[in-house]
Chains A and B, each alone.
Chain A
Amino acid sequence: MTPNSAVQELISLKRVTKTYSGITALDDVNFSIRKGEAVCLAGENGSGKSTLIKILAGVEQPDCGRIEFSGVEQGTLNPRLSAASGIKVIFQDFSLFPNLSVAENIAFSAEISIGAKLFNKKRVNDLGRTTMARVGVDLDLDAPVETLSVAHKQLVAICRALATDARLIIMDEPTTALTEKEVRALLAIIRRLKADGVAVLFVSHKLAEVLEVCESVVVLRNGKKVAEGPARDFDSKILTRHMTGRDVAAASPKPIDKAAPELLRVDNLNKAGAFENVSFRLHQGEVLGISGLLGSGRTALAKALFGLVAPDDGTITLNGKRVALGNPLQAAAAGIGYVPEDRLTEGLFLLQPIARNVAIGMLEAHAARSGLLDLRSLWDETADWLKRLKVKTSNIEAPVRSLSGGNQQRVVLARWLARGPDVLVLNGPSVGVDVGSKAEIHDIIAGLSGQGLGVIVISDDLPELLTTCHRILVMKDGRIIDDVSGAAINEADLAHRLAS
Chain B
Amino acid sequence: MVQNSRLYALIASPEARLAVIAVLVFAGMAALSPDRFLSAQNMTSMAFQFPEFAILALAMTLTMLTGGIDLSVVGIGNLSAIIAATILTSFAGAGLTGTDALMWYGIGMGAAILVGACAGLLNGVLIAVLGLPAILATLGSGLIFTGLAVVLTNGSAVMGFPAVVAWLGNGLLFGIPVPLILFAVLAAGLSYILTRTGFGLKVQMFGANPLAARFAAIDITGMLLRVYVSSGVLASIAGMVVMSRANSAKADYGSSYLLLAVLIAVLGGVNPYGGYGRVIGVVLAVLSMQFLSSGLNMLGVSNFSRELIWGALLIMVMIINSRPDLLNPFKAQRAKS
Contacts and interface: CB of A to CB of B under 8 A. Distances in A.
Contacts of B212: 345-349
Contact of B201 (A333, A338, A346, A359): A359
B214 A349 contact: no
Contacts of A361: 216-217
* Central interface residue in B196, B198, B199, by most chain A CB within 10 Å: B198
A360 B219 contact: no
B217 A373 contact: no
B275 A349 contact: yes
B250 interface: no
A356 B218 CA distance: 13
Interface in B128-174: none
A366 B208 CA distance: 22
Contacts of A350: 208-209
A323 B296 CA distance: 64
Interface in A344-376: 345-352, 356, 359-361, 363-364, 366-367, 371-373, 375
A278 interface: no
A373 B197 contact: yes
Given A328-B217, A329-B217, A363-B202, A346 B211 contact: yes
Contacts of B208: 349-352
A42 interface: no
A352 B205 contact: yes
Nearest to B222: A329
A308 interface: yes
Given A363-B202, A372-B197, A375-B196, A352 B215 contact: no
Interface in B184-204: 196-199, 201-202, 204
* Central interface residue in B196, B204, B216, B276, by most chain A CB within 10 Å: B216
B205 A372 contact: no
A363 B201 contact: yes
A414 to B, nearest CB: 12
B205 A367 contact: no
Contacts of B202: 360, 363
A340 interface: yes
A456 B209 CA distance: 25
Nearest to B216: A360
Contacts of A372: 196-197
Interface string B244-273: 000000000000000000000000000000
Given A346-B211, A356-B201, A415 B196 contact: no
A373 B209 contact: no
Contacts of B199: 371
Interface string A275-317: 0000000000000000000000000000000001000000000
A371 B201 CA distance: 11
A402 B25 CA distance: 36
A331 interface: yes
Given A367-B198, A373-B198, A375-B196, A349 B215 contact: no
A348 B209 contact: yes
B217 A332 contact: yes
The majority secondary structure among interface residues of chain B is helix
Interface string A389-420: 00000000000000000000000000100000
Contacts of A333: 217
B93 to A, nearest CB: 40
A360 B201 contact: yes
Contacts of B216: 360-361, 415
A328 B209 CA distance: 16
Contacts of A366: 198
Given A329-B217, A346-B211, A352 B275 contact: yes
A137 B214 CA distance: 38
A367 B211 contact: no
Contacts of B213: 349, 360
Interface in A177-213: none
Interface in B272-291: 275-276
A480 B334 CA distance: 59
B197 A367 contact: yes
Contact of B198 (A347, A351, A371): A371
Contacts of A415: 216
B209 A345 contact: yes
Contacts of A373: 196-198, 201
A348 B204 CA distance: 13
Interface string B19-50: 00000000000000000000000000000000
A381 to B, nearest CB: 14
A351 B204 CA distance: 11
A360 B200 CA distance: 11
A27 to B, nearest CB: 22
Contacts of B211: 345-346
Contacts of A360: 201-202, 205, 213, 216, 218
A351 B199 CA distance: 19
A399 to B, nearest CB: 10
Contacts of A349: 205, 208-209, 212-213, 275
Nearest to B275: A351
Nearest to B226: A371
A351 B201 contact: no
A5 to B, nearest CB: 38
A335 to B, nearest CB: 11
Contacts of B275: 349, 351-352
Contacts of B215: 308, 328, 338, 340, 346-347
Nearest to B271: A351
A352 B207 CA distance: 10
A182 to B, nearest CB: 30
A375 B209 CA distance: 22
A340 B198 CA distance: 23
Contacts of B218: 360
Contacts of A331: 217
A356 B199 CA distance: 13
Contacts of A329: 217, 219
A220 to B, nearest CB: 29
A125 B66 CA distance: 44
A328 B214 contact: yes
Interface in A144-184: none
A352 B202 CA distance: 12
A345 B211 CA distance: 7
Given A347-B212, A349-B205, 7 more contacts: A328-B215, A349-B212, A350-B208, A352-B205, A356-B205, A364-B198, A367-B198
13 contacts: A340-B215, A348-B209, A348-B212, A351-B276, A352-B208, A356-B201, A356-B205, A360-B213, A366-B198, A367-B197, A367-B198, A371-B197, A415-B216
Closest 3 CB pairs of A and B: A332-B217, A363-B198, A349-B208
Interface of A: 308, 328-329, 331-333, 338, 340, 345-352, 356, 359-361, 363-364, 366-367, 371-373, 375, 415
